[in-house]
Chain A
Amino acid sequence: MVFFPRDKMTRTSAEQVGEEIYDVVIVGGGVAGAIIAKQLSAAHKRVLVVESGMGKDVDLAGYESYVSRFYGTAMKDNQSPYPINRNSPMPRSTDARKITPGLPATDAYIVQNGPFGSDTTYTRVLGGTTMHWEAKTPRMVPDDFSMRNTFGVGENWPISYDEIEPDYREAEREMGVSADVEDQRYLGISFPDDYVYPMRKMPLSYLDQQVDQGIRGTSVQLGGQQFDLEVRSFPQARNGIPNPLYNGGKGYRPLGAVSTSQVEAGERCQGNNNCVPICPVQAKYYAGKTMAQALLGGDVKVLTQAVASRVVLDADGRVSHIEIKQYHDPILPDHTTATVRGRVFVLAANAIENPRLMLASGLAGSSGLMGRNLMDHAYLLCWGLMPQVCGTMRGTNCTGGIVALRNGSFRSQQAAFGIDIHNDGWGWSEGSPASDLLRLVDGQNKFGRSLRRELADSITRQLLLAFMIEVLPDPNNRVSVDPAYKDQLGNMRPVVTYNIPEYTMRGAAYARRFAQLVFQRLGVADYTHYDPGDYGYVTYEGAGYAIRGGNHLAGTHIMGSSPSTSVVDPDQRSWDHANLFLVGGGSMPSIGTANVTLTIAALCFRTARAIIADLA
Chain B
Amino acid sequence: MQSNDSFLALSAALTGFSTLDLLGTGMAQEYQRTLDATLPPGIYRELLETWASAGGGEAATDQIMGDPKLGPVARNLIQLWYCGTWSAMPDDWRSAYGTTPLDMSRVVSPEAFQAGLQWAVAGAHAPASGQQGFAAWALPPEGSS
Chain A residues engaging chain B, CB cutoff 8 angstroms: 67-68, 70-74, 76, 203-206, 209, 240-241, 268-274, 278-280, 388-396, 399, 423-424, 433-434, 436-438, 441-442, 445, 447-453, 455-456, 459-460
**14 extra A-B contacts, CB within 8 A, seeds A271-B135, A434-B83, A437-B79:** A74-B85, A74-B106, A206-B140, A271-B137, A272-B128, A272-B129, A393-B119, A394-B132, A437-B118, A441-B75, A448-B58, A448-B61, A449-B16, A460-B123
- As a 0/1 sequence over residues 95 to 130 of chain B, the CB contacts with chain A under 8 angstroms (1 = contact) are 000000000011101110110001101111101110
Q: Which residues of B contact A447 (CB under 8 A)?
A: 13-16, 61, 65, 74, 78
Beta-carbon contact of B137 and A203 below 8 Å: yes
Give every chain B residue within 8 A of A279 (Cβ-Cβ).
Answer: 128
- Cβ-defined partner of B144 (8 Å) among A280, A388, A452: A388
B58, A459: Cβ atoms closer than 8 Å? no
Tell me whether B133 is interfacial, beta carbon within 8 Å.
yes
Most A CB within 10 A of own CB, among B106, B119, B128, B132: B128
Q: Once the chains bind, are B139 and A206 in contact (CB under 8 Å)?
A: yes
Q: Do B129 and A391 touch (CB < 8 A)?
A: no
| Chain A residues within 8 Å of B128, by CB | 67, 70-71, 272-274, 278-280
B82 at the interface (CB under 8 A from A): yes
In the complex, whether B143 has a CB less than 8 A from a CB of chain A is yes
Cβ contacts A to B, 24 pairs, < 8 Å: A74-B107, A76-B127, A203-B135, A209-B138, A271-B137, A390-B141, A391-B144, A392-B122, A393-B119, A393-B122, A394-B123, A394-B136, A395-B136, A433-B122, A437-B83, A447-B14, A447-B78, A451-B15, A451-B78, A453-B16, A455-B82, A456-B122, A459-B121, A460-B122
- A456–B15 CA distance with the chains assembled, in angstroms: 12
Q: Are the CB atoms of B124 and A68 closer together than 8 Å?
A: no
Question: Which of B107, B124, B135 meets A71, CB within 8 Å?
Answer: B107
Which residue of A is nearest B90, CB measured?
A442
Assembly CA distance A394 to B122 (angstroms): 9
Q: Chain A contacts of B132 at CB under 8 A?
A: 270-271, 394
Nearest-neighbour CB distance to chain A for B56, whole angstroms, equals: 13
Query: Is B131 positioned at the interface, with any CB of A under 8 Å from its CB?
Result: yes
Chain B residues with Cβ below 8 Å from A269 are 134
| Chain A residue nearest to B14 in the complex (CB) | A447
- Which residues of chain A have C-beta atoms less than 8 A from B82's C-beta? 434, 437, 455
B137 touches A240 (CB 8 A): no
The complex places the Cα of A583 from the Cα of B65 at a distance, in Å, of 59
Q: Which residue of B lies closest to A432 (CB)?
A: B118
CA–CA, A272 to B140, complex, Å?
Answer: 17
Residues of B within 8 A of A209 (CB): 138
CA separation between A459 and B83, bound complex, in Å? 14
B65–A271 CB distance below 8 A? no
Tell me if A460 and B141 are in contact (CB < 8 A).
Answer: yes
Least CB distance, A554 to chain B, in whole angstroms: 28
Task: Specify which of B106, B121, B131, B142 is in contact with A270 (CB 8 Å cutoff).
Answer: B131
A206 and B134: CB pair below 8 A?
Answer: no
Q: Quick check: A452 and B15 within 8 Å, CB to CB?
A: yes
A71 and B136 within 8 A (CB)? no
